[in-house]
Amino acid sequence: MREIRYLQAVSEAVRMEMKRDEDIFYMGEDVRHGLRGISKGFVEEFGPERIIDTPISESGFVGIATGAAMQGMRPILEFMINTFVFFAFDELIDQAQKFFYMSGGRLKIPVTYIVPLMLGSIAGQHSDVPYPYVMQGGMKTILPSTPYDAKGLVTSAIRDNDPVMVFLPARVLGKKGMVPEEQYSIPMGVGEIKRKGTDITVIATGHMVAEALNVSEKLETEGFSIEVLDPRTLLPLDRPLLKKSVQKTGRVIIIDDSNRTCGFASEVAAFLSDQCFDFLKAPIKRITRADVPVPFSPILEKQVLPGEVQLIDEIYRILKK
């Protein structure tokens, strides 16, 4: 074990898998230069045949990856910006995600899509969080919150025979954590309790996990015992773990940085209200981004994105009753 940054953990997972399997290749816009940092040094190590720069055509290179996967290759595709996923929706959801079913299981599409979640005053057209859209399309979706989880889950995504969307929150890319040097994988569909508690369950995703942990430490001094649950994989979702935690505490807040309407928090709330209603001591609460475009102004941006202040206020409202 040694301490490395989240982005290094992702890069290490990809590098190890490319060394293990020569059918894996990496493609995207400016990946030979390692613009994002994940593929830095890859072209020197693996050669230009396996590290492929693409034109600015998301629909085009997603289709290329699907075709290559049909021929037995295992592409890894990096999107430059999260909202560029929208340009490729037909290729992603109508093609890659459905070919296995439409072929009666004869065609496998083992493509890994790496999508950065941009944050920080980049305005309406570059700030959307697309994972609820691809989840509704049935695509496996992972959202690691720590360097350890990032390496293990990315490894599992690359080895999976289905298309998998990997979302990397910008706010955690520079965070450090303990990560083993050797290869390992974390199964998709397995969440984790990041902090045990008895009074209330906070289900947090991506960069919101660190904020939920900070809040739980602050409020511990006031006598609140807060359990922090990280689903890690949004689809498949570890429903038994969610159910077990909420049955124990009887109270739940879901904090997630996607839209309120039809977002991930809405799906979790619907599931828990159906499966845990008899155990609930308070209404299920959601803390999400507002259903508006993200403003360019940093001051206004804070008003529409979820954060620690809203979480603390909601915990007070529930527990001080």
DSSP 8-class letter at 321: -
DSSP state of 31: T
User: CB neighbours of 223 closer than 8 A, spacing ≥ 6?
Assistant: none
Q: Which helix (H) or strand (E) holds 212?
A: helix 208-220
Alpha-carbon gap, residue 17 to 12, rounded angstroms? 9
The answer to whether the bond into 236 is cis (omega within 30° of 0) is yes
Q: Which residues pair with 45 in a beta bridge?
A: none
Calpha distance 211→287 (Å, rounded): 12
Name the strands in the sheet holding 252-259, side by side, starting at the edge strand that comes first in the sequence.
Answer: 192-195, 226-230, 200-204, 252-259, 285-289
Joined tokens for residue 244: 């077990």
Would you call 301 helix, strand, or coil by DSSP? helix
The amino acid at 279: F
Catalytic residue selected from 126, 159, 243, 260: 126
- State residue 110 phi and psi, 5-degree precision: -80, 70
Told to judge if 126 belongs to the known catalytic residues of this protein, a careful annotator would answer yes
- Give me the torsion for CA of 97, 98, 100, 103, rounded to 10°: -160
Phi-psi region of 217 (alpha: psi -120 to 50; beta: other; left: phi over 0): alpha
Residues 6+ apart with CB under 8 A from 277: none
The catalytic residues are: 126
